[in-house]
Amino acid sequence: MSEHALHKLTQCTLAELIEVGGDYLAKSDLVYGHGTDNPHDESAWLALEACGLSPAEPLENYHIDVNRGHLERAKNWYRQRADQKIPVAYITGRSWFAGHEFVTDSRALIPRSPIAELICTEFEPWLTDTPDSILDLCCGGGCIAIACALQFPDATVHGTDLSPEALQLAALNREKHQLQDHLQFFEGDLFNGLPIEQRYDLIVSNPPYVDREDMQGLAAEFQHEPQMGLAAGIDGLDIVDKILGDAQNRLTDNGVLIVEVGNSQPAVEQRYPELELIWLEFEMGGAGVFLTTAASLKAA
């Protein structure tokens, strides 16, 4: 079906809307990577949200009729996605991470880290004991910290970020999940701003790690996200270097550090040949996440 078919659509079922919308997006020169990897899934996400349905909940009947108001909303959202290259999660205002729903807007990156899989499996087999204290460095909108707090309800969980706007969004998500008494956020540059005496059994971070060359070639979709959440200098290691330099002083004796570095993995391996790093594998996809320990950091 052509782009014109979407504009002419005046009545349809949900299944027909997804089909027509998927074809429209497929012809729109889009880049995926914010939770989906194809136009059909993005079309379904937009169509379901436009109809007031959750993409996270199973739907038995896709042949229900779409009312006029929902259809016009969907058509407007399809145009935003195609013409302005806005990621779907920013259009709809929500996304999912580790099975939990989050308010999502341009104050922070869209949740999409493979670290979600680690949280859902309680970091097995890498954690020998249930962590009593957890830190989410560069927490953005709070998805990792909140998912950890929900997975480990007895743990002290902290999140920290340099962006006050991102922390506003994180606080909104904390309230959404009713974790005000269980999770604290701090504003500061990495470990700065945290309680001085606090050490953590587990530090998790999805920091900025995009190198200068990749930043210059970012697709339009990624340019809608806050650039301070992506850019990390010439080789992508500006923030990772600081984390590795200071983490030993913030981990407990048996503490574990997990950091996502994405495409900067080769740069990390070249920069730190003496440091014992375990590069994690994921059943659900994803790469570029390393694990190291307080003991390994001390030895290096």
The pLDDT assigned to 157 comes to: 97
Alpha-carbon torsion angle 49, 53, 55, 59, nearest 10: -140
pLDDT at 6: 87
pLDDT for the residue numbered 1: 41
Its pTM surpasses 0.85? yes
Contact present, 110 and 117 (Cβ < 8 Å): no
Residue 128: pLDDT above 90? no
pLDDT confidence tier of residue 209, bands split at 50, 70 and 90: very high
Q: What is the mean pLDDT of the chain?
A: 94
Q: What percent of the chain has pLDDT over 70?
A: 99
Question: Is the alpha carbon torsion for 245, 247, 252, 253 positive or negative?
Answer: negative
- Position 167 scores a pLDDT of 98
Per-residue pLDDT of 14-32, as tens digits, reads 999 999 999 999 999 999 9
- Look at residue 286 in the predicted model and tell me its pLDDT: 87
Sign of the torsion angle spanned by Cα atoms 245, 253, 280, 99: negative
Element (DSSP H or E) covering residue 226: none
Mean pLDDT of 47-58: 94
Residue pair 114/285 in contact by the 8 Å Cβ criterion:
yes
